[in-house]
Structure 1
Amino acid sequence: MSHDLTFDEFLKVDIRVGEVVRAEPYPEARVPAIKLWVNFGEALGEKKSSAQITAHYTPESLIGKRVMAVVNFPPRQIGKFMSEVLVLGVSDADGGVVLLVPDKDVPLGGRMH
């Protein structure tokens, strides 16, 4: 059953720009994943995430990459790793996740509107 969001409901989702400052393989995950540490600037600081993005990215290729993430979901335990934010992506034709990224230089912690 479909539910149309109101604009006020949409505004409750806090999506911000962050920069990956650390990334490590997460071989213990059930589905291949990468552990990320993302800096959202002074307002939010550094947050952790586990992302199933191994089809297109290696940990090394992610350092310095700007990403978009939902920052106001409750933390979620992914195996032995606590994921604090949801990094956003879209599946390609083969099911590999491609990250949603800003296409211009924007400030860390900037909120999507």
Structure 2
Amino acid sequence: MGKHFPKKRETLSEYAALENAYLDGMREILSEVAARRHLELWGMRSNNPHIRKANDDSSYAIECLHSSLNENQHELYGFMEEAMNAEQGLEEEEAFVVGFLEGYRFIKELQRSGGGLTLV
């Protein structure tokens, strides 16, 4: 890093470039941490009663649909469900990572503004 950014910074643009490099690195690291945490939490079932009810309702509807399909339709439905689950999983992971990064950014801004919070 020293060869790209000498220790004595004479201009604000050099300082800004160093800060941007640091932020890019932190964003990459925090994204990896968030993605790993998402995988740990992903299989957990929500305790929110509204979410549990919606899940029970959708499971019931899917079971009713499955019981009315012939073999070919059942296979096609399986392909569709697999593709939709993959898409939803990627969207959920992305939303989790973005939320994680926004939370980190919020805490850092509070610290900068004298909000009194410290990271442990």
**TM-score tier after normalising by the smaller chain length:** under 0.3
Q: Normalization by structure 1: what TM-score?
A: 0.20
Q: Which structure is larger by alpha-carbon Rg, 1 or 2?
A: 2
More helix per residue: 2
* Structure with greater contact order relative to length (CA < 8 Å, sep ≥ 6): 2
TM-score (norm 2): 0.19
